[in-house]
Chain A
């Protein structure tokens, strides 16, 4: 069998297997829509807050109006006491709470100071942070206005008064994901993981279905089979990767700071290493329904150990060390640095070399595994 014939035979074997076609083509397209679907609105806005106003003064009403004007908050109801507010939160009608104490305005005007209480439902962190940020902003605003009135009353000139209110400007700006959006946060890493997992499943099912049956895969040399199989999967996945990184990133407004050449240079060892790991592991399977299950179970741990959902510094060291043999881990980290944070090639060189290292090791194991499977099949046939 020539290399080209073998290449096309591999394609035929792949396309003839409905389970692989469903997982690869179906899965890749389906997930590209389904996974980012919940996050399309990017940032939580207009979180529901219930107000307990014990003061009922002009200032407290102004404060409530200002809070309601914040894009993060929507005042949904007024409760007469905290118990009632608590009930509303438990019923799910509101996620936040603002309590204005009685005598709020009077105390402020007398220069005594007052305390506002904010509460947010911390069962949902994004809701909590939106509620807290919105209410703190509104509270600070009210505070500034009272201070300004006080200063002006004491005869300070308005320009000086403004300055002494904020002696230092804190200019906090988010970088790399300026909108603080959820899709640019999740999509870059997640999509690489989807490519990784489907590629592993594809190679796994293909291998599991073949080892016990007769076919060209038992006749060609292990090295030849391995290289042609890698070529086939890599050419298919270059297509998928182009769709994900070329089109989907663009559609989901994920930033792409790396150049085309750099991205391709990174994707290539990622696909090769993943393919090789897939072929190596496929030698362990003989039932076609097992690979999908094993790789599915591994998806969530791989996603969380990658370090962009939960910082690597807080993950136990042994887990981080073990995870380094998974091609998706260096690939996701390198991809984030290259494309989302605009780091140069030198920053991801270590990840790149690591990917090639995994590739070399996995090739060795895959070669040995195929050889083992072939000799096993031969001994059964004799």
Chain B
């Protein structure tokens, strides 16, 4: 039987299983779109902040207006501090700003009053953002008052600004100018999802090859050709989905990208092969459908945490850094960031593929496991077996 025949057989088998068809067709598209929709707001805005104004002076109201003018903050006024605290505990506001009693009086009489800001760091992302934004808004407001004070004390108009802040600063978010969460979080999330899908599809396809005869699990004697045929069928399909992700993010949403996006497909193909090598290894060890799926799930479900996008790699414990290298997605995401943010050229991308070398030693292990496994006798007609397997599947699906 030629390899073309195996590919045709694999293709036919794919259509026999409704779950596999779902996995290669609408499930990826629906989940990709849903996850993007979830984060589609992109920039956090109008997050509720409780302001307790105990001073009720002209300055305190000005400060409140300053915060209202910030797009990230949505001011909610509370008369009572305990109510604001309760709202904070119930997560209906993410921060509390307290302007103390006699704030203006203290300011005028030359004492330094304190504005208390409490932000909810249980919601780390929101809390940190609000903390900096509230301080920025209040700082801008207070600068105006300070400028008046300086003018009153006789400083000339030209030097007021310099007196207030001799060193001004200009902070630039490199590679993601407006701190857009879609550009930051959605690509790794979608890659993690895509890796899970590729893992499942290949596991299911492999599980189909298991033959149970007289309570003994057998593998077809031509398994390696079949695995090759599976790669040839599923590689284009999965690359189609990853291209859909790239087109959605960098063409339709036109997120900024410094390098050539198309070259990423090469890296994705290598990632898939590494992933499927791992899956084949697990399959040869487990040789039982549900256990194989469970084990692969346990292995690849936390891949997102180990990508090092949300939490920097160099801050991970050493053992986590090693575990990270077991996940093909971590190798890929490095290339992805290099291309999208730093504009790596195709040659550098090819160079980075070297990092997958650590998957190569798996090949001899797989071969040894394959040689040791119980196989069907060579004489048996393989078409017979595969048709039996297909029959089994269709029966199960009914």
Report the minimum CB–CB distance from A93 to chain B (whole Å).
12
In the complex, per-residue mask of B26-44: 1 if CB is within 8 Å of any chain A CB, else 0: 0100010011011111001
Q: Is B298 an interface residue (CB 8 A)?
A: yes
Q: How many chain A residues touch B (Cβ–Cβ < 8 Å)? A: 109
Interface string of A306-318 (1 = CB under 8 A from B): 0011110111100
Structural contact, A289 and B290, CB atoms closer than 8 A? yes
Would you call B91 and A336 a contact (CB within 8 A)? yes
CB distance from B62 to the nearest CB of A (A): 13
Contact A38 B306 (CB under 8 A): yes
Q: Is B31 a contact of A35 with CB atoms below 8 Å?
A: no
Name the B residues within 8 Å of A112 (CB-CB): 162
For window 284-331 of A, CB contacts with B under 8 Å fall at 286-290, 292-293, 296-297, 299-301, 304-305, 308-311, 313-316, 319
Q: How many A-B residue pairs have CB under 8 A?
A: 332
Name which of A39-47, A223-231, A269-277 contacts chain B.
A39-47
Cα–Cα, bound, A30→B294 (Å): 12
Residues of B close to A135: CB separation below 8 A: 169, 171
Known: A169-B115, A301-B31, A347-B90. A309 touches B312 (CB 8 A): no
Assembly CA distance A147 to B315 (angstroms)? 36
Contact present for B122 and A343 (CB under 8 Å): no
Complex Cα gap A65–B248 (Å): 45
Q: Which among A120, A173, A342 is the interface contact of B118 at CB below 8 angstroms?
A: A173
Nearest-Cβ distance from residue A231 to partner chain B, whole angstroms: 24
The answer to whether A172 touches B291 (Cβ under 8 A) is: no
Question: Of B8-16, B135-143, B226-234, B272-280, which binds chain A?
Answer: B135-143
CB <8 Å contact, B125 and A287: no
Query: Is B107's CB under 8 angstroms from A118's CB?
Result: no
With A132-B171, A319-B34 as known contacts, state yes or no: A185 contacts B291, CB within 8 Å.
Answer: no
B67 CB to nearest A CB, Å: 12
Q: Is A129 an interface residue (CB 8 A)?
A: yes
Asked if B291 and A341 sit within 8 Å, CB to CB, the answer is no
Evaluate contact between A296 and B297: CB separation under 8 angstroms: yes
Chain A 180-228 residues near chain B, CB threshold 8 A? 180, 182, 184-185, 201, 205, 209
Contacts of A44 in B (CB 8 A): 311-312, 315
Please measure, in the bound complex, the distance between the C-alpha atom of A287 and the C-alpha atom of B292, giving whole angstroms. Answer: 14
A175, B23: Cα distance in complex, Å: 43
**A81 proximal to B (CB < 8 A):** no
User: If the complex has contacts A18-B288, A40-B317, A111-B159, are A170 and B117 also in contact, measured as CB distance less than 8 A?
Assistant: yes
Which of B126-134, B353-361, B363-371 makes up part of the contact surface?
Answer: B126-134
Knowing A143-B166, A167-B107, A174-B127, the reply to whether A180 touches B121 (Cβ < 8 A) is yes
Answer whether A309 and B396 are a contact pair too, CB < 8 Å, given A111-B162, A115-B168.
no
When the two chains form their complex, are residues B119 and A174 in contact, meaning their CB atoms are under 8 A apart?
A: yes
Contact A292/B297 with A122-B173, A341-B88 known, Cβ cut-off 8 Å: yes
Q: State which of B116, B146, B301, B341 has its C-beta within 8 Å of the C-beta of A296.
A: B301
- The verdict on B351 contacting chain A, using a C-beta distance below 8 Å, is no
Identify which of A132, A308, A314 gathers the most chain B CB atoms within 10 Å of its CB: A314
B342 at the interface (CB under 8 A from A): yes
Contact for A299 among B301, B320, B337, CB less than 8 A: B301
B267 at the interface (CB under 8 A from A): no
A236 within 8 A of B: no
Q: Is A263 an interface residue (CB 8 A)?
A: no
Q: How far is the CB of B350 from chain A (nearest CB, A)?
A: 17
Residue in B23, B174, B290 whose beta carbon sits within 8 Å of that of A121 in the complex: B174
Given contacts A180-B124, A180-B128, contact A113 B168 (CB under 8 A): yes
Per-residue CB proximity of B140-179 to A under 8 Å, as 1/0? 0010011001000000000101110111111111111101
Interface residues of A (CB under 8 A from B): 18-19, 22-23, 26-27, 30-31, 34-35, 37-41, 43-45, 47, 89-90, 95, 97, 108, 111-129, 132-133, 135-136, 139-140, 142-143, 146-147, 150, 160, 163-164, 166-178, 180, 182, 184-185, 201, 205, 209, 286-290, 292-293, 296-297, 299-301, 304-305, 308-311, 313-316, 319, 333, 336-337, 340-344, 347
